[in-house]
Each structure stands twice: as structure tokens, then as C-alpha cells.
Structure 1
Amino acid sequence: MSDIAKHRVVHSLKKRGSISSPSTQDFHLKEPHGRTKDSVSTVSYAGEPSQRDDSSRLTVQMENTYQLGPTKHFPVVAVNHILRDVLTNYLQEEEYEPDLCRQLTKTISEVIKAQVKDLMIPRYKLIVIVHIGQQNSQSIHIGSRCLWDTKNDNFSSYVFRNSSLFALANVYAVYFE
């Protein structure tokens, strides 16, 4: 290969994002008829990361599992125990105070949600709602609505009372395919 031809090959490889350089030692390979041939090594690279095409990236497409029902159902009894323990621990000695109770509802609902998540129930979305009110010989009606699949969705509920306040905690488990 002549020097001009080598220069053209090196120049075209550099334009395409390849670096071509002669090896550290010039090796002469013998061809079958006794002629020698120079060896050239080539290293290719894709270019700078900022210059990459977005089209060159592979997109991962997730396929459906075709699982139409839960493998493990929502454990109502275990969640009832969690509700009872958390409400008792947080509210046993508390007196009703509106500002404190507002903060306690947020804290208790986060604690309950974390403990129910620790049960590792796959594919259920959890909704935790806690109501705290003053115990003052009055009544209260609390209602909730949502779209419900009676076969897969479930809930757990617990009411706590002491001399000063009452608390109602609900955990709704909605199956998510």
C-alpha cells in the first residue's frame, strides 16, 4: 500500500470517528509470494457523549405480565394489629389539642404506611387516612368513596378512644395491575 493510500485511509477513519495509527513497531507480514505488508492498528470510538444521537439509544419496552390477580392478598388481620399498636403507642397518654392532633395525624399516617409497606405486599397501592377528634359526647359520621374491585381490593380499620380524644385509622389497599 502506498503512502498516499495509507494517508487517505487514516484521514477517512478520523473523519468517521476512528483513530488509526501505525503500531509501535512496524510489522511486516509475509504474503504467500514473499511480499511484505505493513500492519496498521485501528481504534474506533463513538465520539463525545454530548454528541451522541438520541436515536442510537435503545429504548426498553416492558411487556405485560398478564397477571390479573394478586399472588398475595392484603393481610387485614396483620394490618389491624399495626393500626392498634401505632394508635395506642402514640395516643394512649395524649390530651386533645387541635394543633398537636393535626400534626399527629400526619405522623401516625406516615408510620402506619411505613409499617404496612414493610409487610412487602406486591402490587397494592396504599392509602392511609387518620382522623383525630375530641371526645365530647358528640357523634361523627365519616364516609369515603373510591372505585373498588371487591375481588382484589381490601381495607383495614381501627378506632381508638381515651378519655380526651378518639382516633380512626383506615388503610385502603387497591390492587394495581
Structure 2
Amino acid sequence: MMMSDIAKDRMAHSVKKRGNMSSLSGREFWQKELHRCTKNSMSTVSYMDEPSQRDDASRLTVQMENTYQLGPTKHFPVVIVNHILKDVLTKYLQEEQYEPELCRQMTKTISEVIKAQVKDLMIPRYKLIVIVHIGQVNSQNIFIGSRCLWDPKSDTFSSYVFRNSSLFALASVYAVYFE
């Protein structure tokens, strides 16, 4: 049986370190050295898992519980979010006139403000989607629709429509429960 080069190098290094070189041939020397290393090695087994009288008092009791939840523990507060939508839209758009570029920027700003205020409510495990539409008031109609996979037991939405003499705005917050 041939030993790997790394094992030979290690044994030669340990022999040089001890300072005794043998007059035996190379093969005899390595066989003796290998026998010496295996003879002096020792294995130990720990019996920490076996109960003993003195260890019973020192063991900690572990209590397991199921933390999986089948639905929200705290439901999404639709009424409070409706008030947030009304306040934000009124504050930002009460005195504004419809200008396309300004309204494009306002939709981004208003949606970020709404999202931040709803997140401040600290409702756990809900993903929020905030959409704001702003348009000019003329003699036209608009239909806005949305679709997604929905669990009516836990998912919900809130929306509010704002109007002044020049523009209208629709803000919607979709709250999807994340399991």
C-alpha cells in the first residue's frame, strides 16, 4: 500500500522535528512510522446525551409550538386607510389645476406618501400596492379596472375618488396577505 506524498512529507517533517533518523531502509522506516502513528492514536466517545443523575437538574426544558398561521392575526384597517387616502388627496390636489406634466409627477408623489402612511400603521404580513390616477375633468367618462389572484378572506382594498373643478383623482390601495 503506497502512502500519499502529503502523508510522507508530514511524517518526514515530524521525524526531523524529533531529531532521530533511523538506519532502516526507506520502506521499513515508513512502515514502522505508520505503525507508531496508528498505535498511539486514540478515539474517544462522548456520552453527553445519556441521562445521568447529576445532569437532570442542569438540562433545559425545550417547548415546541406550531407558529404557522392560516390567516392574518390583525386584519387590514380599511376605514383608517380610507381616511388616509382622503386626507392625502385633499391636501395635495385641493387647489391644483390640471396640467399633464404636473399631474404625472403628482401621481408618483401621492402614491409614495400614501404608501408611507399606510406602512406606518405597522400591519404585519401584508404586501401593499398603491395606484393613483389623475385626469382632467371634461365631459368624458373613464373606466378603470384591475385583476389579480385574490383570497377574499384575507386580501382587501381601499379606494377614494377626489374631484375639484379642473381634475379628478382615484387612489387605490390593495392589501394582499403574504403567507
Q: What is the TM-score normalised by the length of structure 1?
A: 0.64
RMSD: 1.9
By how many angstroms is 1:8 displaced? 4.2
State the partner residue of 1:131: 133
Highest relative contact order (Cα 8 Å, sep 6+), 1 or 2? 2
By how many angstroms is 1:66 displaced? 1.2
1:151 and 2:149 correspond: no
Letter in 2 for 1:166: F
Higher-helix-fraction structure:
2
1:81 is paired with a residue whose SS is helix
Gaps of 5+ in 1: 10-63
Residue of structure 2 aligned with 1:71, choices 66, 70, 73: 73
Moved over 4 A (4+): none
Residue of structure 2 aligned with 1:175, choices 151, 159, 177: 177
In 2, the alpha carbon distance for the partners of 1:68 and 1:95 equals 47
In 2, the alpha carbon distance for the partners of 1:65 and 1:102 equals 44
> How many pairs are equivalent?
120
In 1, the alpha carbon distance for the partners of 2:92 and 2:177 equals 29
Identity over the aligned pairs, expressed in percent? 86
By how many angstroms is 1:65 displaced? 3.6
Gaps of 5+ in 2: 1-13, 19-65
Higher-strand-fraction structure:
1
In 1, the alpha carbon distance for the partners of 2:141 and 2:158 equals 21
